[in-house]
Amino acid sequence: MAKTGGYEGPLEQVAPCQWRIPKTYRADMRVDGLIFADDALIGQIKKDQGPEQVVNVATLPGIQKASLAMPDIHWGYGFCIGGVAATDPEQGGVISPGGVGYDINCGVRLLRTNLEWADIKDRIRPLVDQLFRDIPTGVGQRGAFSFSKPELIRLLGEGVSFVVDKGYGVARDIEFAEAGGRLDGADPGRVSERAILRGADQCGTLGSGNHFLEVQVVDRIVDATAAEVMGLREGQVTVLIHSGSRGLGYQVCDDYLGVFKNAPKKYGFELPDWQLACAPVRSPEGQDYLGAMRAAANYAWCNRQLLTHQAREVFARIFGKPWEALGMDLVYDVAHNIAKFEDHDVGGGVQKQVCVHRKGATRAFPPGHPEIPEAYAQVGQPVIIPGSMGTASWVLAGQPGSMIHSFGTSCHGAGRMMSRTAAIRLAEGRRIDKELDAIGIIARARGHKGLAEEQPAAYKDVDLVVDVVDKVGISKKVARLRPVGVIKG
């Protein structure tokens, strides 16, 4: 499948902000495709091959209900970014590394503080500079934390509790992470030696690409009740951390794409795109990948926890108080690239345990769901949506519509609408850091290229993306956050 060119297949509007690609479009489709978008976004979405990837995913063995895409959809590896698919393991349903992504459990976490922007705005520049000095960012950067192989094996199996037990956090950090910061069934023995070697000194590093740490300010409260429960208020300083499983997760994905290359022939099915390489969930290959993927997901949660620890230390140093006195509690941590077993309605009132692939998509469980912290039982799971470094981010809350429409899933960000190459070309002769500084955002990065790739113009309007999931009833707006300082690789 070519990466260039727009989508020219059918798109039928079946409800407000819902567009169907009927399974009659191609003979190999097992289910419909469904894209959540408004009129403005659907025009942008059709400009690349993301919708065709929605069609390709609809051909996977065991797929249930529909192949889905969130409003931040854009072209990706195998699955589109923003893609969601649930497969039934008992009906030959498959697991696909391309449906999780190379950066396994790339995700975000939000920390609140008791600091007011009005009181600290004169100190934002030294704060951002210190964060950039102390937190390793960029390709290949080594971290301050080094783990022996036996320690790393434990970390892969135990997740966040392992680093919290070492003093790099508190019990609340475990409670307020998706899945408690640990996927059961992780099998470090299924992670290659090369992946383990790559992960030995990268836990607690930010990485490159679209990963960042931002100091933000709550600039609007939309749902006062939910915001109060989450401890958010206008004018408050917050910290948003976006990172994943670094080289370890990348290597796990690469390893298993190789393993899965011959699986379709072995198990008797065909794929329209080799990047969708997959195997039945219940096969030996599928089980091996699940064990390794879960271990890499646990590594990613530990990575964000160690980044949290370092950010807290910097804030404590700059403001002369322990981080606890600064109120730097974790609001929530969510995964963006993951596959998990969950119970869902697959149509006609039938409930099944399915394997939900979320590739650039966020879990968005509604009020009362047993898998969210008790503190959020009345308002729904926090859903954290980062924008670009020059535009707003959002905190949403999961709603009942997510269980009806999207296997408990919402969008994950603004979504690119420009390739990195095109963004660099657009930035020629410009200084993105100076442009951001002129609008009150301090940006620090290892080089100009990283800022050029991630400039705000490269992304869709995050406010429009969030409007869609709010209108559909997948997740509702709680608070809007604007960046004031960002560090990137």
Query: Alpha-carbon torsion 346, 352, 353, 355, what sign?
Result: negative
387 annotated ligand-binding residue: yes
pLDDT band at 457 (very low <50, low <70, confident <90, very high): confident
Rounded average pLDDT over 402-426: 87
Q: How confident is the model at residue 231 (pLDDT cuts 50, 70, 90)?
A: very high
User: If you average pLDDT over each of 5-9, 328-332, 345-349, which comes out highest?
Assistant: 328-332
Q: Quote the pLDDT of residue 2.
A: 44
Residues in Cβ contact with 40 at an 8 Å cutoff, skipping those fewer than 6 apart:
464
Residue 291 marked ligand-binding: no
371 domain-assigned:
yes
The CATH number covering residue 309 comes to 3.90.1860.10
Annotated binding-site residue? 67: no
The answer to whether the annotation marks 243 as part of a ligand binding site is: no
Report residue 422's pLDDT band, with 50, 70 and 90 as the boundaries.
confident
Q: Which domain holds residue 478?
A: 12-488
**C-alpha to C-alpha distance for 233 and 468, rounded to whole angstroms:** 24
Integer Cα distance of 316 and 309 in angstroms? 11
Overall average pLDDT of the 467-483 stretch: 98
363 is a domain residue: yes
The mean pLDDT value for 414-426 works out to 78
185 has binding-site annotation:
no
Q: Is 488 annotated as a binding residue?
A: yes
pLDDT at 203 over 80: yes
Does 388 fall in a domain? Answer: yes
Say whether 407 counts as a known binding-site residue: no
Residue 215 lies in a domain: yes
pLDDT of amino acid 476: 98
Residue 2 maps to a domain: no
Q: What pLDDT score does 426 carry? A: 78
pLDDT at 448: 75
Domain membership flag for residue 5: no
Looking at per-residue pLDDT, the higher value among 88 and 207 belongs to: 88
Is 242 annotated in some ligand binding site?
A: yes
pLDDT-derived band at 435, boundaries 50, 70, 90: confident
pLDDT at residue 16 is higher than 90:
yes
Q: How confident is the model at residue 430 (pLDDT cuts 50, 70, 90)?
A: confident
The residues assigned a catalytic role are 412
pLDDT confidence of 1, banded at 50, 70, 90?
Answer: very low
Confidence (pLDDT) at 4: 62
359: in domain: yes
Structural domains in the chain (count): 1
413 is in an annotated binding site: yes
Q: Is 7 inside a domain boundary?
A: no
How does the average pLDDT of the chain come out, rounded?
94
pLDDT digits (tens, 9 = 90+) for 111-152: 999 999 999 999 999 999 999 999 999 777 778 898 999 999
Q: Percent of the chain beyond pLDDT 90?
A: 85
